Amino acid sequence: MRMIATLIAAIAASPALAATGPFFSLSNTNFVVTIAFILFVGFLVYMKVPGKIGEMLDKRADGIKSELDEARALREEAQALLATYERKQKDVQDQADRIVAQAKSEATAAADQAREDLKKSIARRLQAAEDRIASAEAEAVREVRDRAITIAVAAAREVIAKQMTATEANKLIDSGIETVEAKLH
């Protein structure tokens, strides 16, 4: 129906109305062109070209719609994949943070242990040095005492030797022998 209305509008607005002479004559080119146009449009309608064009446009619309649906599905899939990778990245970052924190904790513990070991080592070395100093002091005191005893004995010997006579010496020897015999038996 629209085509007929369009055809009538085309005829009514044609320049044929402005032409001189009878319009419905085969000598009028405007009439011949109008008839050829009407036949051509009729042939197109008879061959169902508008329906085929509509079908082609519908197919194209359906193809575009399916492509849009496919693109939408691909977009959703890409967003899901992106979300998955973002979660994985977050998990990996969390794991890396935990590893770094654990490494810091272990390093702190190792440093504390090393400080404690160093303190113990220093304490042991100080104790060993103090022991050596005490031993050296004891050795020095012993040497001084032995030397003093030796000097005192030598001085006593000299004093006794000068003051003692042979009879007194023999008495002391006999007394010493008796003391030794009494202690041994």
For the chain, which residues make up each domain, given as ranges? Answer: 1-47, 137-184
Rounded CA-CA distance 115/113 in Å is 5
Q: pLDDT: is 156 or 94 the higher one? A: 94
Rounded CA-CA distance 20/22 in Å is 7
Output DSSP code: residue 19: S
Q: Count the helices and strands in the chain (H runs, E runs).
A: 4, 0
Q: Does the global pTM surpass 0.85? A: no
Rounded CA-CA distance 157/127 in Å is 44
Q: Has residue 36 got a pLDDT over 60?
A: yes
Q: Has residue 17 got a pLDDT over 60?
A: no
pLDDT, one tens digit per residue, over 169-178 is: 788 788 888 8
What is the average per-residue pLDDT within 157-184? Answer: 79
Q: What is the mean pLDDT of the chain?
A: 86
**What are the start-end ranges of the H helices in 13-48?**
29-46
Tokens of 118: 């160093």
What is the average per-residue pLDDT within 105-109? Answer: 94
Residue 172's pLDDT is: 78
Rounded CA-CA distance 145/153 in Å is 12
The amino acid at 150 = T
Rounded CA-CA distance 153/179 in Å is 20
